[in-house]
A = this chain, B = another copy of it.
């Protein structure tokens, strides 16, 4: 029996009008404590749940938050969903997931769902969070949105980020603390803003600790396993090889490990390897990878929080944003220099 208890029955049982029940449900002020309690009891007794369709038709809210993604990493996407849901459930909101095909006509994809569903807000993950068309459509439709780790136009909207520079700095410092002075670096895809930030953190740490950033030990990569593999082949070719390599993401670090394996260089005895992102692959390799963990779930939860009005935004103020802490995950792929 798909119990379709309506607000009327609750009203009748508790002896008040449906409007008062509505008030209690929406935590509106100006309801006597006594009345409130009585209504709540009736709600519990009847196991009543408001009908979300009727609610959003009558009111302004849809109780739906969208998550748009076009992200190649399933682990990332899932974490975002988990984080966002955690916060949404507290307020009775639900998550609508919408994969976006950035190659296709983006506007044609999102415009219909926006006008059909009337979502209360949207969370944008990279790289859609930097897609100008998406942002434009969202703004035109008047749908609030929060971007996760955006690259560009930071002031354009609310967003949540992690401090990539500092994370890369600390990872480099970790290697330096282990005695490494000659640390190779593999850059990420040049179109991705994080690439520059991570390189900057690396360079800063080297400079601050008095070690030179050797051009020949900095390679361009593209965030893929293959690009990391190839970069590592170049870095480890001659005799003048670095004692540690910091790849700006895990996939590339895995490429480095593969090369080390082929060259019979023991990790971490002969070569320390560090990654960035803490992807699932980082634990599925031997030795397990030292890396940086982004608090993805927490970031998504923060994004949902921003949307649900955790922070009220005044007129004219800059859009709110949050900067979250990363976590250095030291595992077995980095060790003292020998």
Contacts and interface: CB of A to CB of B under 8 A. Distances in A.
A3 B143 CA distance: 12
A284 B2 CA distance: 47
A152 interface: no
A212 to B, nearest CB: 32
Interface in A83-126: 85, 92, 94-99, 112-118
B82 A99 contact: yes
A237 interface: no
Contact of A143 (B2, B117, B251): B2
Contacts of A51: 57, 116, 118
Interface string A24-67: 00000000000000000000000101111110110000100000
Contact of A115 (B49, B56, B117, B286): B49
Interface in A238-283: 251, 254, 258, 261-262, 280-281, 283
Contacts of A281: 280-281, 284
A140 interface: yes
Nearest to A262: B286
A64 to B, nearest CB: 8
A4 B117 CA distance: 11
A81 interface: yes
A98 B77 contact: no
A293 B115 CA distance: 38
A49 to B, nearest CB: 4
Contacts of A62: 53
A2 B280 CA distance: 41
A177 interface: no
